[in-house]
Amino acid sequence: MPIWTPEKIWFNRDVFIIGGGKSLEHFDWNNLIQECTIGCNDAFKHGVNITKICYFGDTKFFKYYQKELSVFEGAIFTDVPSLYKSREDWLWTLQRYTSFSKKAIGWYSSTGSGAVSLAILLGAKRVFLLGFDMHLSKEGEANWYPNMLDVPNAKVFTKFINGFKRLKIDLMKKHPKVEIINITDNSDLNEFPKIGVKEFWEGRL
């Protein structure tokens, strides 16, 4: 597919980002059926009813799951530079910049941050973060899904958190009206307002 020109298909909407944290292991995915959602990486496995858009930010994910992704019924976006000229007719590509742009993904060192940028490109008014634990579980696991690609490494979260610190600064400059709210229990990502999972969904429903 050619490089995608962003359209605000979710203008003024709430958008939920499905992260990879272990805290989502027992999450009630039915909560997301009626919501606008962007699922990072393996979240596409829940199907289009839960994950409306799948977004990934590295080549090895594409190579490992290419066959499964090709039959996913939702939209699939990436900003991986090596895939800009991909011939897959189901893969939407965007350019990657190091900060927010009107036409490209702002990449702040993680797929989660790229998904936030995509939500803003789509017109989101509020962005809710799910599963942004930013630490390993007590069992030493990083994800709610079996991660076949990466060995758990606690040090990587320092890079992710620092990326979100930069994202917050740029957000205040370029998108001051967009709210980001972290709905992740015991999250180490402290750059945005937090609300507990149970409290949020009881109020939402």
pLDDT digits (tens, 9 = 90+) for 169-178: 999 999 999 9
3-state secondary structure of 194: strand
Q: Is 46 helix (H, G, I), strand (E, B) or coil?
A: helix
Residue 23 has pLDDT above 90, yes or no: yes
Q: What is the pLDDT of residues 123-150, one digit of tens each?
A: 999 999 999 999 999 999 999 999 989 9
Task: Tell me how crowded residue 77 is: count the other CB atoms within 10 A of its CB.
Answer: 23
Model confidence pLDDT, tens digit, residues 5-16: 889 999 999 999
Can you give the residue ranges of every domain in the chain? 14-204
With H, G, I as helix, E, B as strand and everything else as coil, classify residue 92. strand
84-128 pLDDT, tens digit per residue, is 999 999 999 999 999 999 999 999 999 999 999 999 999 999 999
3-state secondary structure 123-160: CCCEEEEECCCCCCCCCCCCCCCCCCCCCCCCCHHHHH
CATH number of 14-204: 3.90.1480.10
Q: What is the pTM of this model?
A: 0.96
Output the pLDDT for position 1.
67
